[in-house]
Amino acid sequence: MYLQLENFCQTLVNDFDAIPEERKKILETISHYISSKILQHKPVQLNYICTHNSRRSHFGQVWASVAAHYYKVNHFNSFSGGTETTAFNPNAIAALKNIGFNINIVKEGANPVYEVRFDNQQKPVICFSKVYNDAVNPSNEFAAIMTCSDAEENCPFVQGAELRISTTYNDPKAFDNTPQQEEKYLERCRQIALETFYVFSKIKTKALIE
């Protein structure tokens, strides 16, 4: 893992006490789901769902991949999607780059495709805006993690999801084109990173398999 990013991850591990207890209970539901899939010797698939698949859901997808690598959870894949398609937001990309990710465009256009790397020895996370049931996302045996209230309200049923859980976050979009823009995107990015790392830290280690 890139050194800057590894150092950032260590600050997350040291800050779990900052997560409210009620929030931890919600997050541990995801931990239990992951543990159960590992115990069944089945792949773990998490699909982070937001309205536009442009900010929070991509943060979730990326950080889940990093956390799985950090905690050595194998046979894991993270995905993201929205109720409509837009594009991976440049401010969200800037926040990830600021923290230490290496991000490159691999396909240009109105909805570019990006490779998000956290380690040169690991496969990149492929990010672009898509609907939650896009062909590249799992159609069954996955957990649907709702990252915004709009998606929670507009997607009352997610076909194929074994678990649907709401971990809504405030939208940093509210601070676009303001003096607080960079600060708020980094704040939301770190919050999602912190809670995702907490989820993976609570997986029962005795369940881990090669």
What is the CATH T-level fold of the domain 3-204, as seen in this structure? Rossmann fold (3.40.50)
How would DSSP label each residue in 73-128? --SEEEEEEESS-----HHHHHHHHHHT-EEEEEE-SSS-EEEEES-TTSPPEEE-
Provide block-wise average pLDDT over 10 residues at a time, the chain (210 residues).
98 98 97 95 96 97 98 96 96 98 98 98 97 97 93 84 96 97 98 98 66
| Predicted pLDDT at 205 | 54
Give the pLDDT of residue 156: 75
